[in-house]
Amino acid sequence: MDKVALVTGSSSGIGFETALALARHGYYTYATMRDTKKGDKILEIAKKENLGINVIELDVNSEDSIKKAVEKMLSEKKRIDLLVNNAGYFLVGCLEDMTEKDLRDQFETNFFGVVRTIQSILPTMRNQKSGIIVNVSSVAGRIGFPVTPGYISSKFALEGLSESMRYELVPFGIKTIIIEPGVIKTNLFSTLKKATRSDPAYKDITQKVMKGLLMMSEMGTPPQEVANTIVKAISSDNPLPRYPVGNDAIMFLEAKKAKTDIEFENYIKKELFS
């Protein structure tokens, strides 16, 4: 019997490549997306390569949409072996430029979207006494950075959730894995949402950071590397809690580990302001 996977946000980037990589690895994969019209490309590749991929609608902001997608998957396959929580977007703007709604919307997708999706599949995984949950966080889930506090705090929250649920789910044979990509070349940067306000007090730092991020995104790690890391992590009998992806992620996370808080802050300031 095929193992069954569900990937959120499969219309592009990391989710698209992960859904393909999982199908190539033998999973029957539900490549979910909020607009299924964006599913033509993945279905075309699936047809060409004879892969088990089904595109279905799932908007992580909607409990009803998640419920319908999970019901469809379970009615067809009766099980779920792997959930990849990937859907997310990038809110950019300093704290004072964000409205409360900007921040709540960011958490609605990047954090509560993950919570809702996990809660909808956990009863099935507990009954099966097996399953793997992969949460696509970011190096931004471990390191603070100016001009992106909304995105960063949503990923910090996701890290806390993931690290804690990992213990809770052990007795049910369910594994939790966090993926921490650095800058990846995807649509994340072209579809970013700007904070509602733009106070001139933050204009310089916002422009500087945005310019740096857009430059880095052009040279970013290909999303296939994230997909390959996910396949490697789920194939392990004892997956690690966290898998960084990309040289930039490894460099920042190693620096964070090796330095005191103040040393690390000075290192980031040097990168930013010199």
Ligand X SMILES: NC(=O)c1ccc[n+]([C@@H]2O[C@H](COP(=O)([O-])OP(=O)(O)OC[C@H]3O[C@@H](n4cnc5c(N)ncnc54)[C@H](OP(=O)(O)O)[C@@H]3O)[C@@H](O)[C@H]2O)c1
Residues that bind ligand X (CB under 6 A): 8-9, 11-15, 33-35, 38, 59-61, 86-89, 109, 113, 136, 138, 181, 183-184, 186-188, 191, 220, 223
At closest approach, how far in Å is the CB of 49 from ligand X? 21
Q: How many CB atoms lie under 10 A from the CB of residue 155?
A: 26
The CB-nearest residue to ligand X is 13
**Cβ-based nearer residue to ligand X, 11 or 124:** 11
**Cβ-based nearer residue to ligand X, 204 or 218:** 218
DSSP state of 52: -
Q: Identify whether the C-beta of residue 10 lies closer than 8 Å to the C-beta of residue 55.
A: yes
Question: What is the C-alpha to C-alpha distance for residues 248 and 198, in angstroms, rounded to an integer?
Answer: 29
At closest approach, how far in Å is the CB of 260 from ligand X? 25
**Cβ-based nearer residue to ligand X, 54 or 186:** 186
**Cβ-based nearer residue to ligand X, 126 or 194:** 194
* Positions marked active-site: 151
At closest approach, how far in Å is the CB of 14 from ligand X? 4
In angstroms, the Cα distances linking 106 to 36, 149, 156, 258 are 22, 11, 13, 31
Q: Identify whether the C-beta of residue 10 lies closer than 8 Å to the C-beta of residue 33.
A: yes
Provide the angle, in degrees to the nearest 10, between the axes of the packed helices 261-273 and 247-258.
140
At closest approach, how far in Å is the CB of 58 from ligand X? 6
Return the beta strands (E) in 36-183 as ranges. Answer: 53-57, 82-85, 91-92, 131-136, 174-181
